[in-house]
Chain A
């Protein structure tokens, strides 16, 4: 029988929790899962589970300024939610924003990625430039588009009026029929490159064989795209949709900066409404209720999507 080397002996001892590797604390050589799970579990407890439980508790309370305290209100906040027209309006706006922006960003993202999927000189630079919008804080993007869409001084307004798409007496962000589109524009400008990058990464990893076979069989570009590229990209696209979808459902910055939810309530989203209730009106209980509803909707939609698209992590 072969005699174990010293290293094998030490590794065996370490596996059994009897010996530390030289220079490492004993805990870091343990094969027991507990020490490895503890930091993550602690972080989850502190930053996720506790806030979630506190938020649920808060939704059954309300801050009363004159008492300087949170008082129990039972299910009042939840009942109020059902009867609150502003909540339902915000929910509708959030869904509309979510579907339209996601759809446009996805289509544009795929189209631009396919255009940029080349090794010709200059394309690398173009791909790099495309990422620049992603490093701008959304609030700054909101300010930029606020100025560009200003009815008096805005370059975008001027351009749209110039080509006859906008009448001079229609301020984009102060007209209910155009305000949401004005905000969407900022989002699409900033985040389409994110879609492009993800799709581009997917495109670059696709195997060449199916394309070669399809071309030999005489398939056209549209057929190849529909029957090969899209199915092969489906997992990548699902991830992109999931990430952007969650972001879109929580959209806040653009509305806050560009429209304050107006005109009227036409650009109120769930996040903006929850923020307003929590921080402007100091209705912490109702704000928590609105946040929980947003969270629940995101969880349901995300899991539904994962199930439908068969994404496996």
Chain B
């Protein structure tokens, strides 16, 4: 943050405090964020504010909308005492709902909400068992995009729910406010909506501004530019600092995510329009040549890292750039956790060398460098309390709740258009933990650069095993050439896709 911006922000905060628009606790928080010592404010508090977003949870302006809670109270009357269950991955929306927000819903509705936070694979197990047994153990399903095709018939289409039960429709819920690209990319299968977009981790370009200035570079605008810049940084500053950090752990989904982004950015696609694997065509092999070169600019550990290791490499100042999940950005700004607070910048993904159209691809694949890993939230058709679950789902994915999730959840990307312009979200655009200063880039990426994986029942296996295992073998030297690796993936993928 520039010094002038900092002063302006402080002046506004002082003004708000003096005029009673901001309470003392919040004011102290803002002041501490701006780097003022508590002693300077005469408060006598010695411990500096570390920027944890949790502090905001008790703030008056970060309470759920009273209007929405009144609606919850009104429509939930017949369902008092009901218990709703949701199994979900540990993502910011679920964590914030579980940790801070669901108590407001429970209080207003008289219902109990049990949210099981689990690793993604366990969520899939529980969801599959629930679907197979039709026991309705879970009322709401957290649906990763790769499961949308398999699960589409087991959940309600929210549009149907609105039409069928107008008396249970939340005023101003507005399904068209969900970013259209997300609806298409995450939760549409054929003509059905598989719930509504719930979270949206998406690849954006993040780079070290100080290193780029030192090297005389501009932010990478194209894929080729990113590669040559990374090569130059590694050559100039390695092995202390490398040009790029990767998520290349063999057999892990993260490797597939990085590969697809590079594949799409080099004009390739996973499937052709006939539904055959096309990573082994000319563009696919060009992408592998690109990936090989990029790999050489990364720290040696990149082949053992998932996105966690990749993020750590940036946070510890070992690498200068990464094309990865935007959710890392607020963490990089946290001075308590990283060495690089305030040094990272977020920009849109580098422009691809060429880009295939969705019409040239199969199974609903949408090429785009901004690989998205979003999920949707949907009411299970097996639920014993579908109406009660629908009330919770509307409240949990309403614009007001999403704004709170984004603010309290450390700058996670909203799935609704209006939330990006919410004053509470905009107020967090400053350097520090939980920043939202990258969210404009996230919104632009969703609108213009987003890439979505194909929808087919076998995709879970293809994306988390077939592709990352064979790529892992290639990068470990077990497969001699990129062509051989891609041909092997083609053989296995086409067999699975045909099953």
Contacts of B475 in A (CB 8 A): 174, 263
* A25-39 to B contact mask, C-beta < 8 Å, 1/0: 000000000000000
- What separation, in Å, do the CA atoms of A174 and B473 have in the docked complex? 10
Chain B residues 145-170 with CB under 8 Å of chain A are 150
Residue pair B121, A151 in contact (C-beta under 8 Å): no
A202 nearest CB across to chain B (Å): 40
Residue pair A174, B303 in contact (C-beta under 8 Å): yes
Asked, given contacts A150-B304, A151-B301, A174-B301, whether A263 binds B316 with beta carbons under 8 Å apart, the answer is no
A252 nearest CB across to chain B (Å): 13
Asked, given contacts A168-B239, A280-B460, whether A176 binds B478 with beta carbons under 8 Å apart, the answer is yes
B171 interface residue per 8 A CB criterion = no
Residue pair A151, B304 in contact (C-beta under 8 Å): yes
- What separation, in Å, do the CA atoms of A150 and B473 have in the docked complex? 19
Total number of residue pairs linking A and B with CB closer than 8 Å:
105
Asked, given contacts A263-B478, A279-B125, whether A68 binds B132 with beta carbons under 8 Å apart, the answer is yes
Residue pair B131, A262 in contact (C-beta under 8 Å): no
B423 nearest CB across to chain A (Å): 40
Chain B residues 238-256 with CB under 8 Å of chain A are 239, 248-252
* A134-169 to B contact mask, C-beta < 8 Å, 1/0: 000000000000000011110000000000000011
Partner among B309, B461, B470 whose Cβ is within 8 Å of the Cβ of A280? B461
In the complex, what residue of chain A is closest to B457 when comparing beta carbons? A65
Asked, given contacts A150-B309, A265-B469, whether A68 binds B303 with beta carbons under 8 Å apart, the answer is no
B42 interface residue per 8 A CB criterion = no
Contacts of B472 in A (CB 8 A): 262-264
* CB<8 Å pairs between A and B, sample of 11: A68-B134, A151-B300, A152-B316, A169-B300, A174-B475, A263-B251, A263-B473, A263-B475, A266-B476, A282-B124, A282-B460
- What separation, in Å, do the CA atoms of A140 and B231 have in the docked complex? 37
Lowest 9 A-B CB distances belong to which pairs?
A: A262-B250, A151-B301, A264-B473, A263-B476, A174-B303, A174-B304, A262-B251, A263-B250, A152-B301
Residue pair A261, B251 in contact (C-beta under 8 Å): yes
Contacts of B122 in A (CB 8 A): 279
In the complex, what residue of chain B is closest to A154 when comparing beta carbons? B301
- What separation, in Å, do the CA atoms of A152 and B131 have in the docked complex? 43
- What separation, in Å, do the CA atoms of A261 and B426 have in the docked complex? 43
* Residue from B250, B318, B457, B476 having most chain A Cβ neighbours under 10 A: B250
Residue pair B464, A265 in contact (C-beta under 8 Å): no
A175 interface residue per 8 A CB criterion = yes
Contacts of B300 in A (CB 8 A): 151-152, 168-171
B: contact size bracket: 35 or more
Partner among A63, A150, A262, A282 whose Cβ is within 8 Å of the Cβ of B301? A150
Contacts of A276 in B (CB 8 A): 465
Asked, given contacts A174-B250, A176-B477, whether A152 binds B318 with beta carbons under 8 Å apart, the answer is yes
* B468-485 to A contact mask, C-beta < 8 Å, 1/0: 111011011111000000
Q: Is the interface of A mostly helix, strand, loop or mixed?
A: loop
Residue pair B249, A262 in contact (C-beta under 8 Å): yes
- Contacts from B to A (Cβ < 8 Å): 121-122, 124-125, 128, 131-132, 134, 150, 239, 248-252, 299-301, 303-304, 309, 312-313, 316, 318, 457, 460-461, 464-465, 468-470, 472-473, 475-479
- What separation, in Å, do the CA atoms of A264 and B473 have in the docked complex? 4
* Residue from A169, A170, A175, A260 having most chain B Cβ neighbours under 10 A: A260
Residue pair B478, A281 in contact (C-beta under 8 Å): no
A66 interface residue per 8 A CB criterion = yes
- What separation, in Å, do the CA atoms of A204 and B311 have in the docked complex? 52
A93 nearest CB across to chain B (Å): 13
Partner among B132, B318, B476 whose Cβ is within 8 Å of the Cβ of A63? B132
A173 interface residue per 8 A CB criterion = yes
A69 interface residue per 8 A CB criterion = yes
- Contacts from A to B (Cβ < 8 Å): 63, 65-66, 68-69, 150-153, 168-176, 259-266, 276, 279-282
In the complex, what residue of chain A is closest to B309 when comparing beta carbons? A150
Contacts of A63 in B (CB 8 A): 132
In the complex, what residue of chain A is closest to B318 when comparing beta carbons? A152
Residue pair B465, A281 in contact (C-beta under 8 Å): yes
- What separation, in Å, do the CA atoms of A66 and B149 have in the docked complex? 10
- What separation, in Å, do the CA atoms of A65 and B154 have in the docked complex? 11
Contacts of A260 in B (CB 8 A): 249-252
Partner among A65, A151, A153, A264 whose Cβ is within 8 Å of the Cβ of B469? A264
- What separation, in Å, do the CA atoms of A63 and B131 have in the docked complex? 12
Contacts of A282 in B (CB 8 A): 124-125, 128, 460
B178 nearest CB across to chain A (Å): 27
Contacts of A169 in B (CB 8 A): 300
B484 nearest CB across to chain A (Å): 13
Residue pair A171, B457 in contact (C-beta under 8 Å): no
Contacts of B249 in A (CB 8 A): 174, 260, 262
Residue pair A66, B457 in contact (C-beta under 8 Å): yes
Contacts of A265 in B (CB 8 A): 251, 469, 473
A185 nearest CB across to chain B (Å): 15
Partner among A150, A171, A264, A280 whose Cβ is within 8 Å of the Cβ of B464? A280
Residue pair A264, B460 in contact (C-beta under 8 Å): no
Contacts of B460 in A (CB 8 A): 280-282
Contacts of B318 in A (CB 8 A): 152
Residue pair B312, A262 in contact (C-beta under 8 Å): no
- What separation, in Å, do the CA atoms of A265 and B468 have in the docked complex? 10
- What separation, in Å, do the CA atoms of A152 and B248 have in the docked complex? 14
Contacts of B468 in A (CB 8 A): 262
- What separation, in Å, do the CA atoms of A65 and B457 have in the docked complex? 8
Residue pair B299, A261 in contact (C-beta under 8 Å): no
Contacts of A176 in B (CB 8 A): 476-478
In the complex, what residue of chain A is closest to B245 when comparing beta carbons? A152
A174 nearest CB across to chain B (Å): 4
In the complex, what residue of chain A is closest to B471 when comparing beta carbons? A264
Asked, given contacts A151-B299, A264-B476, A266-B476, whether A280 binds B469 with beta carbons under 8 Å apart, the answer is no
Contacts of A174 in B (CB 8 A): 248-250, 301, 303-304, 475-476
- What separation, in Å, do the CA atoms of A259 and B249 have in the docked complex? 8
- What separation, in Å, do the CA atoms of A153 and B308 have in the docked complex? 13
- What separation, in Å, do the CA atoms of A153 and B304 have in the docked complex? 12
- What separation, in Å, do the CA atoms of A172 and B343 have in the docked complex? 31
B149 nearest CB across to chain A (Å): 9
Residue pair A262, B469 in contact (C-beta under 8 Å): yes
A260 nearest CB across to chain B (Å): 4
Contacts of A69 in B (CB 8 A): 132
In the complex, what residue of chain B is closest to A272 when comparing beta carbons? B251
In the complex, what residue of chain A is closest to B475 when comparing beta carbons? A263
- What separation, in Å, do the CA atoms of A175 and B248 have in the docked complex? 12
Asked, given contacts A66-B457, A264-B250, whether A280 binds B304 with beta carbons under 8 Å apart, the answer is no
- What separation, in Å, do the CA atoms of A264 and B248 have in the docked complex? 11
B79 nearest CB across to chain A (Å): 28
Contacts of B473 in A (CB 8 A): 263-265
In the complex, what residue of chain A is closest to B133 when comparing beta carbons? A68
Known: A68-B132, A174-B301, A280-B465. 13 other contacts (CB 8 A): A65-B150, A66-B457, A150-B301, A151-B300, A151-B304, A152-B309, A261-B250, A263-B472, A263-B476, A264-B479, A280-B460, A280-B461, A281-B460
